[in-house]
């Protein structure tokens, strides 16, 4: 309520990506593609080296044109962040400036919090070769640094955008960490599994495979553990009944 | 011990990245660059379309040549995964196959567990346009799917390698989620802050800013809260003393 009274016209539900003095059109396009993959679509450019629009960016965007079409161009970082309440600067280097440095993951969580309470938030990315300058960094209240191999930290700007946007998306992600790919069937019940075990063991008894009485209990249990572990679907249990039946038939035919 | 007795010559401490029928050399090079950024260096290629070595891959690797130089080429997925105990297949599509699907994050945790117990582990990535075929997928015991924007899921293979390798690295990452960038100084003690407050309030009293006796306590507390929140360093406290001193002096000069 208090927030609304400040007269915010639009509250963006995701951070704005701000590319500062980007050099290669390809990287702008790839950054747009990375953004849209992660559900981000608001892009700002500060002094793009080769002007704007840039056909090379369009080509590299691979269908993420909507992001490029809406991109806004600014003359300075100050202008580009002027309407935002929170600004995060990405940096690979350690600076002499005293700033809070967050991992990409922690930054994503903090940004979710800020944006959740209505703070418009932007993330600054520097030019390809040099990264952000200190004069750019001081427009940010927080620094984001992606933890990488200390012996080889060499992301291009589009890769950096991808990782930061990915962490943003992951922080709001509802996908279960584990699921099954085939929804046309369901996990087998334990009754169905016990029936399968019985069928298999009957067939193996008849075939002579389980003829060693002393070994039988351990062999049976090992097979049961294997089949339990494989987390069969109801469909697979039915297939497996068929496998046993046909193998046993074939075997009898051979005798 | 039981593991060692199986006669494993080398136990890799990180997963092998396996690019299946990759088409563009640029993507192979960018994948190598992404890998090395995340501490991975073992690359296998199954039937790269344009043969191997590929100068375009070298050019795109931006210094990650060590990964390309050691890359091994195979004729089939079966050959490429033959010496591995665990294989994860990356897939954007839902399949009719019944396989466990993990997010990239969960897969990273599981792979850490497998590799920690000595299981050599590989991750399959499919060709650019089509992704892995079902005949490739069945070489894997688990599927990895990166949760992305359902309206626009269009990562190229090098971007997919980057995200999966990043999650691998992040799962073993020891970087504190939050730290300060400047190590040449330390956080101010509360004594130092109280001294600063006293200096500021004395100067503000003298200047007349705090002349309203009724308002004074709230104004002082608001200023103290602001300065506490900014988590000043010892160096910044000293600078701020200077700021107050010089502002107060200038002020007196004007009067």
DSSP per-residue string spanning A172-227: T----SEEES--SS-BPPHHHHHHHHHHHHHHHHHHTTT--TTTHHHHHHHHHHHH
Which of A137, A157, A163, A171 has the most B C-beta neighbours within 10 Å, making it the best mutation to test the interface with B?
A163
pLDDT tens, position by position, A212-226 = 999 999 999 999 998
| Lowest pLDDT segment from A66-80, B53-67, B190-204, B222-236 | B222-236
Q: Considering CB atoms only, which of B33, B96, B233 is closest to A98?
A: B233
One-character DSSP codes across B171-202: HT----SEEES-TTS-BPPHHHHHHHHHHHHH
B6, pLDDT greater than 80: no
Share of chain B above pLDDT 90, in %: 71
Per the rule left: phi > 0, alpha: psi between -120 and 50, beta: everything else, B137 is alpha
Mean pLDDT of chain A: 89
pLDDT at residue A250, rounded to an integer? 65
| Lowest pLDDT segment from A52-61, A88-97, A164-173 | A88-97
Confidence of residue B249 (pLDDT cuts 50, 70, 90): confident
Rg (CA), chain A: 29
Chain B residues with CB inside 8 Å of A185's CB? Answer: 98
Mean pLDDT of A226-235: 88
**For residue B140, with 0-12 CB atoms within 10 Å meaning exposed, 13-18 middle and 19 or more buried, which class applies?**
buried
pLDDT at residue B186, rounded to an integer? 86
pLDDT at residue A156, rounded to an integer? 92
In total, the C-beta contacts within 8 angstroms joining chain A to chain B are 145
Residues in chain A: 255
pLDDT at residue B250, rounded to an integer? 64
Shortest distance between the Cα of A149 and any Cα of chain B, in A, equals 5
Chain B residues with CB inside 8 Å of A101's CB? Answer: 178-181
pLDDT at residue B146, rounded to an integer? 94
pLDDT tens, position by position, A45-90 = 999 999 999 999 999 999 999 999 999 999 999 999 999 999 999 9
Tell whether ipTM is more than 0.90: no
State the Cα–Cα distance between residues B187 and B48, nearest whole angstrom. Answer: 54
Shortest distance between the Cα of A118 and any Cα of chain B, in A, equals 20
| Closest residue of chain B to A169, computed from CA coordinates | B148
Q: Facing residues of A17 across strands?
A: A43, A123
What is the number of other CB atoms lying within 10 angstroms of the CB of residue A183?
Answer: 10
| Lowest pLDDT segment from A100-104, A179-183, B131-135 | A179-183
Q: Considering CB atoms only, which of B101, B147, B176 is closest to A180?
A: B101
pTM of this structure? 0.86
Look at B106 and A177 and tell me if their CB atoms are within 8 Å.
Answer: yes
Shortest distance between the Cα of B208 and any Cα of chain A, in A, equals 31
Where do we find the tokens 């894997």? B140
State the Cα–Cα distance between residues A84 and B33, nearest whole angstrom. Answer: 34
pLDDT tens, position by position, B110-153 = 999 999 999 999 999 999 888 999 999 999 999 999 999 989 88
A12, pLDDT greater than 60: no
With contact defined as beta carbons under 8 Å apart, do B31 and B56 qualify? no
Mean pLDDT of A27-38: 97
């Amino acid at each position: 309520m208090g927030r609304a009274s400040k007269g915010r016209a639009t509250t963006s539900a995701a951070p704005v990506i701000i590319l500062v003095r980007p050099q290669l059109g390809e990287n702008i396009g790839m950054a747009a593609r990375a953004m849209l993959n992660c559900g981000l679509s608001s892009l700002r450019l500060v002094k793009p080296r080769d002007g704007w629009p840039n056909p090379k960016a369009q080509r590299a965007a691979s269908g993420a044109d909507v992001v490029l079409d809406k991109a806004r161009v600014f003359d300075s970082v100050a202008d580009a962040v002027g309407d935002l309440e929170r600004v995060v600067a990405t940096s690979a280097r350690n600076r002499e400036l005293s700033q809070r440095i967050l991992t990409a993951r922690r930054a994503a969580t903090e940004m979710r919090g800020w944006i959740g309470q209505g703070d418009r938030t932007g993330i600054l990315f520097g030019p390809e070769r040099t990264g952000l300058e200190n004069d750019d960094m001081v427009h940010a209240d927080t620094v984001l640094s992606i933890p990488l191999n200390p012996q080889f930290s060499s992301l291009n700007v589009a890769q950096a955008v991808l990782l930061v946007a990915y962490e943003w998306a992951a922080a709001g992600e509802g996908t279960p960490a584990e699921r099954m790919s085939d929804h046309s069937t369901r996990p087998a019940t334990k009754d169905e599994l016990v029936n399968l075990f019985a069928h298999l063991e009957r067939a193996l008894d008849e075939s002579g495979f389980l003829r060693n009485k002393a070994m039988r209990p351990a062999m049976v249990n090992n097979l049961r553990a294997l089949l339990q572990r494989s987390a069969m679907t109801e469909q697979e249990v039915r297939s497996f009944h068929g496998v046993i039946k046909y193998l046993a038939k074939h075997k009898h035919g051979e005798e």
